[in-house]
Amino acid sequence: MNYFEAADLIDATVKFGSKPGLERTENLLELLGNPHKRLRCIHIAGTNGKGSTAAMISGILTNAGYTAGMYISPHLYKNTERMTIDGKEISEEDFVKYAMEVLEAVRLMEKKGLEKPTQFELYTAMALLYFERRGVDFAVVEVGLGGRFDATNVIDPILSVITSISYDHMDVLGDTIEKIAYEKAGIIKEGSKAVIYPQQFPEAMSVIEGVCRGKNASLIKADPDTVTLKDYSMDGQIIDFRYMGYDIRDMKLNLIGDHQLKNAAVALSAVAELNKAGFAIGEEAIRKGIGNVKWPCRLSVVSKEPLILIDGAHNREGIDSLQSALSKYFGGRKIIFIIGMLKDKDYEYAIRKLMPMAYYTVATEPANERALTAAEMAEAIRHYHNRVSAEPDIIKAIEKARELYDKDSMICICGSLYLAGRAAAFIH
């Protein structure tokens, strides 16, 4: 079996959809020898910021001399992105190896009459098996959806991290911020330690505090004041970090946006807790880990001539961060938007927040069956301005935007990670 065949077999299970619950993953991992029980895990949940926070933590650990596995979702270009060790994606050869082992376990499950796992559960089992076999010192594991019933919640982490909680996936997680927060807080285990992002909704923090009390878990609220902004440009931000004995000045954060300062405070607070627990992590490791961190298609400048920014924001908090960053980093430029979203996302909110900033907009659509059509997006945009055209194909949409570009403008591609990944692959 080659890589493409293995990937197709894994991805074919997408037809089984997303089914919250841990039993399928537990059954699968038991047949694989329960590799997750031999891993030292850091578990990260939240609505926004999970990936960049995971990338910061794992990068710092790698630079401190530890072997750090990282499991994320979704992938942008290739499914090997989902599982990395020290920043290097799993090889195609290893992907096939672990896919075959996991799929054989699935066949045994079917023989036993057990329910078949979903695509995400297969990826989760592969990642945990891969990390265990490679003997990583840490596995930084990002939740797929929610937390309490997410497949990753089979792990027993040494540290739980919860990033910003806001409204998204309400059909699965609940229609109030309290319900959503309760699902996210489901990763907090009995007697454990949790580092929490400074929540914008007090109700979310109240729920998390209640869960921690009920599970006798230690709660560490990351203080945004531990990170101080010194300077910024489209190339990154210069920050100071002072907390728990650390006093690191003029550190380059290789990500832009005010929200990344808070994500950095969370990641650095988590690292400080690991250092306190006896895992030596010095200033140089933090400086290099933060300075080299990459998180593609999240406020990413992918080209400077023409100036192109790509952002996969698709919920209200993400859209707010994009709007803020466009004003802060690119104020005065004529913004040519290329926007496409899924119809079950709050596209009307995105249009309302972003279109007043637009010089011109090319409405397009993600390559997904849930996509809002380019024509539908363009029609919605016309309620705000008439400088809009519809181009379903993202490549042709980019070409259209380039025709409109001049030295005083910029191109912003946004609305969906499905869209962002394909756009970035074309531009690169």
From 291, 322, 342, the end of a domain falls on 291
Euclidean distance between the first and the last CA atom of the chain, given in angstroms as a whole number: 30
Which structural domain range is residue 254 located in? 3-291
> In terms of DSSP bridges, do strands 227-233 and 218-221 run parallel, antiparallel, or are they unpaired?
unpaired
Domain tally for the chain? 2
- Give me the pLDDT at residue 353, please: 96
From 234, 256, 291, the end of a domain falls on 291
* 402 or 167, higher pLDDT: 402
- Give me the pLDDT at residue 296, please: 92
333: pLDDT strictly greater than 60:
yes
User: Is the CB of residue 74 less than 8 Å from the CB of residue 18?
Assistant: no
Residue with tokens 């997303």: 18
Same domain? For 267 and 129 the reply is: yes
Instruction: Write the pLDDT tens digit of every residue in 49-60.
Output: 999 999 999 999
CA 240, 184, 28, 135: dihedral to nearest 10 degrees? Answer: 20
Instruction: Write the pLDDT tens digit of every residue in 175-217.
Output: 899 999 999 999 999 999 999 999 999 999 999 999 999 999 9
Same domain? For 285 and 325 the reply is: no
Give the pLDDT mean for 268-280: 97
Q: Which of 159, 162, 152, 161 is nearest to 279 (CA)?
A: 159
- Give me the pLDDT at residue 23, please: 96
Q: What is the pTM of this model?
A: 0.95
Q: Alpha-carbon distance 290 to 285, whole Å?
A: 8
Instruction: Write the pLDDT tens digit of every residue in 140-149.
Output: 999 999 999 9
Q: Which of 352, 351, 359 is nearest to 330 (CA)?
A: 359
Same domain? For 353 and 270 the reply is: no
CATH number at residue 361: 3.90.190.20
2: pLDDT strictly greater than 60:
yes
17: pLDDT strictly greater than 90:
no
28: pLDDT strictly greater than 70:
yes
Pick the range with the lowest mean pLDDT from 10-19, 100-109, 194-203, 318-327: 10-19
- Give me the pLDDT at residue 16, please: 53
Same domain? For 283 and 343 the reply is: no
